[in-house]
Structure 1
Amino acid sequence: MSKHFEDARYYLGRAAEHAKAGVKEELEPLQERVSKLVGDEPEEEPEPSRLEKLQADLKELEERAEGEAREAVESARERVEAYRTRGEKSAE
């Protein structure tokens, strides 16, 4: 497919997403009024429990530790590579 068609398809998709978001935003107040009149108000979501908060915190810590571990491994690999490169140069 031509790059121009791919670009056009992408931008049409984005335009559709923006149009959908705009319509939803415009109709929200009307939907709330109708829900109040009909008596079909959505229930508020309960606050997360203590366990759910702890699980979310642990997940965040796990992701951060994983990222730090990856950085440490990458740094170690770079240092080993630099050490090996220096050893090869001095052997010549």
Structure 2
Amino acid sequence: MSKHFEDARYYLGRAADHAKEGVKEELEPVEERVRELVGREKEPEPSRLDRLEADLTELSRKAEGEAKEAVQQARERLDEYRSGRSSE
């Protein structure tokens, strides 16, 4: 691709980003008025701490599930081993 097209694509992307931010900024007061009329408040974005807590909770659940599965597999292997030894 020609350098000119690459440059044009880059600047079009930047222009789109700037246009999006501009529209967002212009519509903020309208959004606030509508929310006041409807009675809905804007939901706060989760803080970094909230996201970390959610990630840790998910990891804990995953680890617990994997541990239970490993214990179950170990019990099955042990039962198979014991049943193999007792039949001999």
TM category (shorter chain) comes to 0.5 to 0.7
Name the structure 1 match of 2:51.
Answer: 53
Structure 1 portions without partners, runs of 5+: 1-35
Residue 78 of structure 2 aligns to which amino acid in structure 1?
V
Structure 2 portions without partners, runs of 5+: 1-33
Residue 65 of structure 1 aligns to which amino acid in structure 2?
A
Cα deviation, residue 40, structure 1: 4.1
Name the structure 1 match of 2:63.
Answer: 65
Cα deviation, residue 39, structure 1: 2.3
Write out aligned runs for 1:7-46 (5 A).
36=34, 39-46=37-44
Partner Cα distance (2:45, 2:56) in 1: 18
How many residues are aligned here?
Answer: 55
Structure 1 ranges of 4+ moved more than 3 A: none
DSSP-derived class of the 1:74 partner: helix
DSSP-derived class of the 1:47 partner: coil
Residue 81 of structure 1 aligns to which amino acid in structure 2?
D
Name the structure 2 match of 1:3.
Answer: none
Bigger CA radius of gyration = 2
TM-score, reference length from structure 1? 0.55
Cα deviation, residue 51, structure 1: 0.3
Partner Cα distance (2:68, 2:47) in 1: 32
Q: RMSD of aligned C-alpha atoms?
A: 1.9
